[in-house]
Chains A and B, each alone.
Chain A
């Protein structure tokens, strides 16, 4: 059972972070960053399996590969932006966290532009 391991790591890291926060808050932040990274690296293998299955399905139903890779890119950008924003917010820097989230939204918008243009093309084609 991997979830028990992950919860155990989380509890231990939380206790260590709380101990450190009294004396040295900067080390408590690093402990929480490393905990998040370790948990992510732990589940990343399973995530790649899920994405392989999804891309197999997408290729089977003869979907345009552009859309699928766009969705994947959006998820990746959103995950990284969320990670950075949460660390910044944990450290009490709400302003930086909001800026990171804004940047993530803008980059996702940029990634979604090809899909939007193809949708508009379709609409123009339908309208006589």
Chain B
């Protein structure tokens, strides 16, 4: 069981929110939005692996083909 992923996602979220605040305070709104988008994409690629694992295991257990 790897609960590291939860902590990883939370840490990425906190760092991204701090970066967003700093960048928007510095007047770089466009970079702030790009940082948020990049964070969401990075986290989504990590989550997608797990979702595909879930679907595979449900398929094999419940014999859905």
Q: Which residues of A contact B (CB under 8 A)?
A: 5, 9, 12-13, 16, 19-20, 23-24, 26-28, 30-31, 33-35, 37-38, 40-42, 44, 47-48, 51, 69, 72-73, 75-77, 79-80, 83
Contact = CB atoms under 8 A, between A and B. Distances in A.
Contact of B58 (A20, A33, A69, A76): A76
A23 B9 CA distance: 14
Interface of B: 1-3, 5-7, 9-10, 12-14, 16-17, 20, 36, 39-40, 43-44, 46-47, 50-51, 53-55, 57-59, 61-64
B54 A19 contact: no
Given A13-B6, A19-B10, A20-B10, A47 B61 contact: yes
B17 A24 contact: yes
Given A30-B44, A38-B5, A77 B61 contact: no
A8 to B, nearest CB: 9
A5 B3 CA distance: 11
B47 A30 contact: yes
B13 A51 contact: no
Given A31-B13, A76-B63, 16 more contacts: A13-B6, A16-B7, A19-B14, A26-B36, A27-B10, A27-B17, A27-B39, A28-B13, A35-B6, A37-B54, A38-B3, A69-B63, A75-B62, A76-B62, A76-B64, A80-B55
Nearest to A16: B10
A20 B62 CA distance: 35
Given A12-B6, A34-B5, A34-B9, A40 B16 contact: no
Contact of A23 (B17, B55, B58): B17
Nearest to B58: A76
